[in-house]
Amino acid sequence: MRQITILIADDETEIADLIALHLEKEGYHLIKASNGREAIRAVQSHPIDLAILDIMMPDLDGYEVTRQIREQHRMPIIFLSAKTSDLDKITGLVIGADDYMTKPFNPMELVARVNAQLRRSLQLNQPDTASNPVLEAGGLTIDPDKRTVFLYGRSIELTPKEFDILYLLAGHSKKVFSADNIFRQVWGDAYYEGGNTVMVHIRTLRKKLGEDTDKNKWIKTVWGVGYTFNG
């Protein structure tokens, strides 16, 4: 069985070494990168199961590294950053990160979050004899196995979390989900900023579905309650 490999991308050597020390005790194989370009090369050259990224790295920042990773890969990404504002956290999650921790940090908490993300990732990637159904509504087709979305025959590129939100709502048409409920089901965790994170994801998801120009509203806001699929 292949050893799980984790990428640590941080230009602060002491922090990278501290993270590696704790994760090695868990039996993980570690690859380190000191800047964004090294991180991209590592992802291209090795089978990475999870990435821990600093945001303020030389060459390419963590946001750009995440954008490039998400073009081809779905492994969990955890931001570990000195940027502590709510906007920074929401931006990181919207771009495609699965979790966000701020510096200074508790190494044991980071290990716990790494283990949790890996458990979810392994569960999602296990073969399932009962395949999830392809959902169709009007001109929208959502394939959970291929992770593809087509709108009137045109491919719609979504981040992993945008896809999960859309599939959750479309799979329970007319059911109203609160923002916190969506966050718990899609991210698998309770988070005090979860409502804001979901709101931003819904906004970008609507834009990609053309709701700023088309009359057809796929995602309906139920004011004071949450969101529902309107297909």
Q: Is residue 147 part of a domain?
A: yes
Q: Are 92 and 178 in the same domain? A: no
The pTM assigned to this predicted structure is 0.74
- CA 43 to CA 3: how far, in whole Å? 16
CATH number at residue 68: 3.40.50.2300
Instruction: Tell me the CA end-to-end span of the chain in Å, nearest whole number.
Output: 43
Single residue among 95, 124, 153 that ends a domain in this structure: 124
Classify residue 61: in a domain, yes or no: yes
| 22 and 87 co-located in one domain | yes
Burial tier of 81 (Cβ tally within 10 Å: 0-12, 13-18, 19+):
buried
Least confident range from 27-36, 112-121, 182-191: namely 182-191
User: For residues 187 and 108, which has the higher predicted lDDT (pLDDT)?
Assistant: 108
Q: Are residues 66 and 12 in the same domain?
A: yes
Among left, alpha and beta (phi > 0; psi -120 to 50; other), residue 224 is left
Domain range holding 195? 135-229
Look at the chain and report how many structural domains it folds into.
2
* pLDDT for residue 184 is more than 90: no
> Per-residue pLDDT tens for 151-181?
988 999 888 888 999 999 999 888 999 988 8
Say yes or no: 44 and 154 in one domain: no
- Do 11 and 113 share a domain, yes or no? yes
pLDDT for 159: 84
Please report the pLDDT score of residue 19 as a whole number: 96
**129 domain-assigned:** no
Examine the domain organization and report whether 171 and 107 are in the same domain: no
CA-nearest of 206, 222, 224, 208 to 174 is 222
Mean pLDDT for 8-23 is 96
Q: Based on the fold, state whether residues 172 and 111 are members of the same structural domain.
A: no
Residue 129: is its pLDDT beyond 50?
A: no
Residue 198: inside a domain: yes
CB burial class (10 A; 0-12, 13-18, 19+) of residue 229? buried
- Same domain for 151 and 117: no
Look up the CATH number of the domain holding residue 194: 1.10.10.10
Q: Clarify whether residues 81 and 34 are in a common domain.
A: yes
In a domain, 130, yes or no: no
Structure confidence at residue 189 as a pLDDT band (50, 70, 90)? low
Q: Is the pLDDT of residue 107 over 60?
A: yes
Domain boundary among 124, 153, 173: 124
Same domain, 141 and 120: no
d(C-alpha 116, C-alpha 155), whole Å? 31
One domain for residues 156 and 113: no
Compute the C-alpha angle 86/191/127, nearest 5°. Answer: 120
For range 16-21, the mean pLDDT: 96
Question: For the residues 100-112, what does the mean pLDDT come to?
Answer: 92
Query: Do 19 and 97 sit in the same domain of this protein?
Result: yes
Question: Is the model's pLDDT at 87 over the cut of 60?
Answer: yes
The last residue of a domain, from among 89, 124, 159: 124
Comparing CA positions, the residue from 31, 32, 30, 35 lying closest to residue 11 is 35
